[in-house]
């Protein structure tokens, strides 16, 4: 296994087409999902995984089946494994993955959460981006992402051909790192609420 640096544009593309194109004040939004309000509405907030609520499913909407979302202001990035649409105010994009990468992670659910955590760290955790310096145009394409990759044979399913060698994502390593990160986050929460005598 080795770690390789990729530019954002080598892996991802931002797509804003999954948008209601309607202001939230003109939408009938329910906090709870039910038979009528069953389409998840994503906003740019960092709370509740960016879920604003649920709206009526209409034919005019371009609905995303599942995927990563990121707001262009604060870098909140989340993975949603259900159908959704984004708020009409804009400033939110679906992060599309290149074809071979998309095929692989569609079978590896944890990798989506790994990418969400890494992208949140890059775009939100650095403190570079914000109201006056949004994640738009070419700005995200300059960011570098380190990913673990493993060499495979040319008969195996591979994503990259580098110096006549075939590589794919080290999905087991990525899954382990994500799960270990979740354990650490939960432990910090426990430590914060535990009195030490």
- CATH number of the domain at 171, please: 3.90.220.20
Single out the residue of 67, 94, 98 nearest to residue 160, CA to CA.
98
Mean pLDDT in residue range 167-189: 83
Q: How many helices (H) and strands (E) does the chain have?
A: 4, 11
Contacts of 62 (CB under 8 A, 6+ apart): 17, 18, 19, 85
What does the pLDDT look like over 105-124, one tens digit per residue? 888 889 999 999 999 999 98
Contacts of 40 (CB under 8 A, 6+ apart): 33, 51, 54, 80, 82, 83, 84, 85
H helices of 68-131, in order, are: 99-105, 109-123
How far is it, in rounded angstroms, from Cα 61 to Cα 27? 13
Question: Which domain covers residue 25, as residue numbers?
Answer: 2-193
Would you place residue 2 in the very low, low, confident or very high pLDDT band (cuts 50, 70, 90)?
very high
Is residue 166 over pLDDT 80?
yes
Mean pLDDT in residue range 137-152: 91
Q: Which residue has the higher pLDDT, 182 or 94?
A: 94
- In the chain, the number of structural domains is 1
What does the pLDDT look like over 25-83, one tens digit per residue? 889 999 999 999 999 999 987 778 899 999 999 999 999 999 999 998 888 999 999 99
Sheet holding 2-7, edge to edge: 2-7, 144-152, 165-169, 160-162
In the chain, the percentage of residues whose pLDDT exceeds 70 is: 92
Stretch among 134-143, 146-155, 163-172, 188-197 having the lowest mean pLDDT: 188-197
Is 12 in a helix, a strand, or coil?
strand
Mean pLDDT for the chain overall: 88
- Beta strand 37-42 with 84-86: parallel, antiparallel or unpaired? parallel
Q: What pLDDT is recorded for position 148? A: 95
Give the number of other CB atoms < 10 A from CB of residue 63: 13
How far is it, in rounded angstroms, from Cα 106 to Cα 70? 18
Chain Cα centroid distance, residue 159: 20
State if pTM tops 0.75.
yes
Is residue 189 over pLDDT 70?
no
């Amino acid at each position: 296994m080795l770690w390789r640096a990729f530019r954002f544009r080598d892996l991802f593309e931002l797509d804003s087409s999954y948008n209601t194109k309607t202001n939230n004040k003109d939408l009938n939004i329910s906090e709870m999902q039910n038979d009528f309000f069953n389409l998840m509405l994503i906003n740019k907030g960092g709370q509740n995984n960016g879920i604003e609520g649920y709206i009526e499913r209409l034919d005019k909407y371009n609905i995303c089946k599942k995927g990563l979302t990121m707001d262009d202001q604060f870098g909140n990035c989340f993975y949603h494994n259900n159908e959704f649409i984004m708020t009409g105010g804009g400033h939110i994009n679906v992060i599309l993955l290149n074809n071979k990468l998309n095929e692989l992670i569609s079978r590896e659910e944890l990798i989506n959460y790994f990418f969400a955590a890494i992208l949140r760290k890059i775009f939100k955790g650095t403190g570079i981006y914000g109201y006056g310096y949004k994640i738009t145009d070419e700005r995200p394409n300059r960011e570098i992402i380190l990913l673990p990759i493993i060499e495979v044979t040319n008969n195996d399913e591979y994503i990259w051909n580098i110096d006549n060698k075939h590589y794919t994502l080290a999905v087991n390593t990525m899954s382990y790192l994500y799960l270990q990160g979740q354990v650490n986050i939960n432990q910090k929460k426990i430590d914060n609420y535990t009195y030490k005598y």
